[in-house]
Chains A and B, each alone.
Chain A
Amino acid sequence: MKKLLILGAGTAGTMMLNKLHKELDLDEWQLTIVDQYRTHYYQPGFLFIPFGIYKKQDVIKPKYDFFPSGVNVIFNEIDKVVGEENKVLLKGGQVLQYDFLIIATGTQTRPDETPGLTDQLWRKDIFDFYTVEGALALHQRIKNFEGGEFVLAITEVPFKCPVAPIEFVFLADAYFTKKGIRDKVNITFVTPMAGAFTKPVATKMLSQLLEEKNINVVADFYIERVDNENKQLVSYDERTVPFDLLTVVPVNMGNDMVERSGLGDDMNFVLTDKYTLKSVKFDNIFVIGDAANLPTSKAGSVAHFAGEILMENLLSAMEGRPLTAKFDGHSNCYIETGFGKGALIDFNYTTEPLPGTFPLPGIGPFGLLKNTKVNHYGKVLFRWIYWHILIKGKELPIEADMKMAGKKRVES
């Protein structure tokens, strides 16, 4: 039997396993998936936990609920890939051979990369919401927050779901408003980028939302360290931002296994051909999801669109044909803006988010770069779509390639 091995059973790995199970001749191919953990997290739901909108049980399910029958499942830590020998080493010495390998080990947060972040105030006045533990601990703290400097800070780019920190401050504004203490809370958004939004059209369409909601933006702020004594962020050019309650997006890096395998860049993201989704080092290794160093968002929707392209190219590679399917970097994200509204963006490697309607030109129902109630329902629906369609590798009525129909080119 020929062997197809998938590393990582998160959003992208689970989705590919289901797609391949349907597509491949199972008398010919043996499918194996490896992950270190047994719980599948709906990570987009982490955003809602600090504000008490979702609870832990809303975002977790056992991974095996989503594995098709007949596939091999191994729960163990991956040590490294030895590409020259077509094998993967697991912790404890187990060796797995493969004919084709898919790497889907995602990205992890690394709070230890920022000096002072995990010192005495960590999980007391300093939190993250990119892990379920962080989001739950933050919920406890926010509940008792009575006012002061409420700061969201991004430590480094790239990080997964680039809009999540913006959604976070929008939801915080709504939360403190409903609680009746918004006038006592100063909300500040700190970013190493030139602004909360960086693309011209999105900046024009969405940055007034920050103003309307009275959210301060501190831009070009690259954090050198967190000063626990004086409760302030310190940048490399010695500026400071004071906080009473700090939420950070820690440095995001690919898994260390990528580094040990010699397959990644300086942030441990796997060097990947952005069109074919093949590793630049080995012809029988493909990469999908956050693990890849693609110049597009690290998001579940991107993994979904990339999945179709990967499927096509993998089948070609298996039959010795050239890889003809090309990924365009298509990404589609709902942006929760608070008070039951949301915005939506749709873009790819070359086209920035533009206004218009989605997915049906002129009809919608979703409005691109617009703040509407319907878009909020899109976000709410996304959880259902995630569990029932996305990770099961089923088709959505949206094509993998981004479409220009329904979009308006505008002067920025």
Chain B
Amino acid sequence: MAEKMLAGVLVKVNDEGYMEDASQWNPEIAKEIAKEIGIELTDKHFEVLNYLREKHAAEETLTIRKVGKSGVVANIKELYTLFPKGPLKFSSKIAGIPKPASCV
């Protein structure tokens, strides 16, 4: 485990830069992580991030499909437009929640 300065806060992150404590998150931190990935955050991005954080807090398993059907975005394509290449992987990172993983 390492710590990283993000938006003036010392944030706990893992080797891949995912936040280890979702409660440390704030929108400014999100913007900095997004910038590293190459994404400029809009209100729509924040709607997705808030949805992810809510579901994560409720211990629900997140999938691309679930976000695509959530109504927060119109469809999976839109999710890809917002977070190109790895929509769930990158949106989770920016939302300050763990990387989606399987058991192994």
Residues of A within 8 A of B (CB): 156-158, 162-163, 166, 192-194, 197-200, 202, 206, 220, 222, 224, 236-237, 265-267, 274, 293, 295-297, 331, 333, 335, 345, 347, 353, 412
Given contacts A194-B86, A200-B15, contact A295 B104 (CB under 8 A): no
Interfacial residues, chain B to chain A (CB-CB below 8 A): 14-15, 59-61, 63-66, 69, 76-77, 80, 84-87, 89, 99-104
Q: Which residues of A contact B84 (CB under 8 A)?
A: 237
Pick the residue among A267, A274, A412 that contacts B15 (CB under 8 A). Answer: A412
Query: B21 → chain A, closest Cβ, in Å?
Result: 15
In the complex, A242→B53 CA distance in Å? 36
Task: Classify the interface of chain B: helix, strand, loop or mixed.
Answer: loop
In the complex, are the beta carbons of A293 and B61 less than 8 A apart? yes
**Across chains A and B, which 4 residue pairs bring their CB atoms closest together, nearest first?**
A198-B101, A220-B86, A297-B103, A202-B104
Q: What is the CA–CA distance of A156 and B89 in the complex, to the nearest angstrom?
A: 14
CA distance A399 to B29 in the complex (A): 43
> Considering only CB atoms, which chain B residue lies closest to A295 in the complex?
B61
Known contacts A236-B77, A237-B80, A266-B66; decide if A198 and B61 are in contact (CB<8 Å).
Answer: no
Chain B residues with Cβ below 8 Å from A236 are: 64, 76-77, 80
Contact between chains at A198 and B104 (CB < 8 Å):
yes
Distance, CA A192 to CA B76, complexed state (A) = 13
Q: A162-B102, A194-B99, A200-B15 are in contact. Are A295 and B89 (CB under 8 A)?
A: no
Chain A neighbourhood of B65, CB < 8 A: 156, 266
Closest chain B residue to A197, Cβ basis? B104
For the complex formed, measure the closest distance between the CB of B68 and the CB atoms of chain A, giving whole angstroms: 9
Q: Which of chain A's residues has its CB closest to B66's CB?
A: A266
A158: chain B residues at CB < 8 Å are 61, 63, 102
Question: What residues of A have a CB within 8 angstroms of the CB of B59 in the complex?
Answer: 274, 295
Q: How far apart sit A222 and B59, CA to CA, in the bound complex (Å)?
A: 23
**Are the C-beta atoms of B86 and A199 separated by less than 8 Å?**
no
Measured CA separation A331–B100 after assembly (Å): 18
> How would you classify the secondary structure of chain A's contact residues: helix, strand, loop or mixed?
loop
**Out of B69, B89, B102, B103, which one reaches A220, CB within 8 Å?**
B89
- Closest A residue by C-beta to B90: A220
With A and B bound together, what is the CA distance between A364 and B69 in angstroms? Answer: 46
Q: Which chain B residues lie closer than 8 Å to A222 at the CB level?
A: 64, 76, 87
Q: A193, B15: Cβ atoms under 8 Å?
A: no
| Shortest distance between the CB of B88 and any CB in chain A (Å) | 8
Q: What A residues does B99 contact at CB under 8 A?
A: 194, 198
Partner of A296, one of B66, B80, B87, B103: B103
Complex Cα–Cα for A236 and B66 (A):
15
- Chain A residue contacts of B64, Cβ below 8 A: 192, 222, 236
A265: nearest chain-B partner, CB-CB: B60
Q: Closest CB of chain B to A402's CB: distance in Å?
A: 12
Contacts of B60 in A (CB 8 A): 265
> In the complex, what residues of B have CB within 8 A of residue A194's CB?
86, 89, 99-101
Specify which chain B residues have a CB less than 8 angstroms from the CB of A193 in the assembled complex. 100-102
- Chain B neighbourhood of A157, CB < 8 A: 63, 100, 102
Name the B residues within 8 Å of A202 (CB-CB): 104
A163-B103, A224-B76, A267-B63 known, 15 other contacts, Cβ within 8 Å? A156-B63, A157-B100, A157-B102, A158-B63, A193-B100, A193-B101, A198-B101, A199-B104, A220-B85, A236-B80, A237-B80, A293-B61, A333-B104, A335-B104, A412-B15
